[in-house]
Amino acid sequence: MTDWVKIAEDQEVPKLKINLNADEPAATTAASKDNEPDVADPAETSLLIKILGKGLVNTNQSLDIQQKNPNSPLHSVKTFEALHLKPELLKGIYAMGFNTPSKIQETALPTLLADPPQNMIAQSQSGTGKTAAFVLAMLSRVNVALDHPQVLCLSPTYELAIQTGEVAARMGQFCPDIKLRFAVRGEEVDRNSKITEHILIGTPGKMLDWGLKMRLFDMKKVRVFVLDEADVMIATQGHHDQCIRIHKMLSSQCQMLFFSATYDKEVMDFARLIVSEPTIIRLMREEESLDNIKQYYVNCKNEDGKYNAIQNIYGCISIGQAIIFCHTRKTAAWLAAKMTADGHSVAVLSGDLTVEQRLAVLDRFRSGQEKVLITTNVLSRGIDIEQVTIVVNFDLPVDLRGNADCETYLHRIGRTGRFGKSGIAINLIDGEKSMAVCRTIEKHFQKDITYLNTDNADDIEKIGN
Ligand SMILES: Nc1ncnc2c1ncn2[C@@H]1O[C@H](COP(=O)(O)OP(=O)(O)OP(=O)(O)O)[C@@H](O)[C@H]1O
């Protein structure tokens, strides 16, 4: 086996900067950052997107498949029957309402279930059926005659682990002999006992405690190792180290399965280093574009000027629902208070809210109970709110150095083909710096951002047409 541990330990992953403690409730990390740029915690975003996603996302995007192992089965399956699953598992799948495999499933499952086992690194956007695919592989590999953990599945947070466990429990509902256990905070085991469950789903800290520190099971006997949300796991300092330590304990025969909605280049490079001879499957994400978006900028003196611009726009045209992006929580709260006092129904979504609170805010906004959603970069990628027609950048998106953040701009304003309705984007500018950012964005996308005079009602009315 490659000495990947050494390579991994020597390797510096540039993105190792998020310090997330999986065994702490997410909300406790978000205190008093009102004046700083509000940024999304990737694990929380994953959870939010997962819970928000209702049903399978069908995509026509192309697949990129690379195989290092010439023995890998390259064929795909169009039915679950063709996978020759245990009848109980097939029954579980149908009971969940799945009739045919999704695109990632039809491509990945033959490899996931192949004998001898094949390693895999898979990428496919949220909601395309990844969890169902690897859970099916996990359940299929269990030998119920053996009473020790055979499958480990790691998630970045407690909540994500629970979500995966729930899918496993539903899919395995007709396999009563398969035993599953959560390795997460709050779960305690007697030091002198042994873990007998077949599948362990949990966070890296607890898994290490049980497997390495307390030696409650033999890591060498694990046959399948799943890293869910692999991008978050690899790019998060604490998790990265813990995953490496777990990985180090596994046998070279253990099947390695990495799943994620996105992989940065460094993360993918790292994944390829530690997973030997992987089949790599990437379902390209549907690209967002600015094609149907009319973009404007408004010159303002300061924050009050920006507020007046918004007021003028609301005074002239009727706006269904709008999202307004601010840089900090403080600005978001200030703006929300002002708009509320002026009679608007406003919701605020920022990083100080727990995932549950964010879900509640989004649910209310989606159902039209509030007409304005004021938010920060916490709401960025992966969350489509179809009915929004106007997006206002109260503050333009910038990176830590204050340079234009074109990618975030695209995620805020852009629409995918599926939601390709037309939209309006308004950028509020206050000074040379933000004008320069605006020009950089315009140049980057080669799409005009037109001047809008919000003191002129005729000008404003034009944007509504
Ligand atoms: N073959 C299928 N047929 C119908 N529905 C499916 C199928 N596979 C998965 N689903 C459903 O589609 C939704 C998304 O699936 P899943 O959670 O597996 O996607 P995912 O790619 O893992 O998403 P995320 O990246 O958010 O974890 C779930 O509600 C799931 O029950």
- 227 backbone dihedrals φ, ψ, rounded to 5°: -110, 105
pTM over 0.80: no
Express each pLDDT in 1-46 by its tens digit: 334 334 333 433 332 222 333 344 444 444 457 888 887 777 787 7
pLDDT above 70 covers a percentage of the chain that reads 85
Q: Can you give the pLDDT at residue 462?
A: 83
Please state which CATH number belongs to domain 37-284: 3.40.50.300
Q: What is the pLDDT of residue 24?
A: 40
Mean pLDDT over 63-74 rounds to: 65
Residue pair 328/376 in contact (Cβ under 8 Å)? The answer is yes
CB of 101 sitting under 6 A from ligand 1: yes
pLDDT of residue 267: 85
Query: For 277-311, how does the pLDDT look when each residue is reduced to its tens digit (9 = 90+)?
Result: 999 998 876 667 788 889 999 999 999 999 999 99
Cα distance between residue 423 and residue 295, in whole Å? 9
* Whether the Cβ atoms of residue 12 and residue 240 lie closer than 8 Å to each other: no
For tokens 């390829």, the residue is 272
Check if the beta carbon of residue 288 is closer than 8 Å to that of residue 410: yes
Does the beta carbon of 417 sit less than 6 angstroms from any atom of ligand 1? no
Burial of 218 (0-12, 13-18, 19+ CB in 10 A): middle
Among 65, 425, 117, which Cα is nearest to 279's? Answer: 65
Write down the ipTM of this complex.
0.97
What's the confidence (pLDDT) of residue 265?
A: 84
Tell me, using a 6 A CB cutoff, whether residue 51 lines ligand 1: no
Lowest mean pLDDT among 89-103, 354-368, 393-407: 354-368
Task: Choose among 166, 231, 206, 261: nearest CA to 24.
Answer: 206
Place 418 in a pLDDT band, splitting at 50, 70 and 90: low
Instruction: Give tens-digit pLDDT for 45-60.
Output: 778 777 776 666 666 6
Query: Any idea which residue has 């007021």 for tokens?
Result: 311
Q: What is the pLDDT of residues 334-345, one digit of tens each?
A: 999 999 999 999
Asked whether the beta carbons of 319 and 448 are under 8 A apart, the reply is no
Question: CATH 3.40.50.300: which residues of the chain?
Answer: 37-284, 287-464
The CATH H-level superfamily of 287-464 is P-loop containing nucleotide triphosphate hydrolases (3.40.50.300)
Estimate to the nearest angstrom the gap between the alpha carbon of 396 and the chain centroid.
23
- How many C-alpha atoms does 268 have within 13 Å on its Cβ side? 12
390 vs 22, which has greater pLDDT?
390
- Confirm or reject: Cβ of 49 under 6 Å from ligand 1: yes
What pLDDT score does 413 carry? 86
Q: How confident is the model at residue 363 (pLDDT cuts 50, 70, 90)?
A: confident
Structure letter (DSSP) for residue 136: H
Closest CA to ligand 1's atom 15: 129
Lowest mean pLDDT across 26-40, 131-145, 316-330, 416-430 = 26-40
Instruction: Output the residue whose Cα is nearest ligand 1's atom 3.
Output: 98
Task: Name which of 197, 219, 192 is nearest 207 in CA terms.
Answer: 219
Q: Where are the beta strands (DSSP E) in 261-344?
A: 279-283, 288-289, 293-299, 321-325
- Ligand 1: which atom is nearest the Cα of residue 54? 29
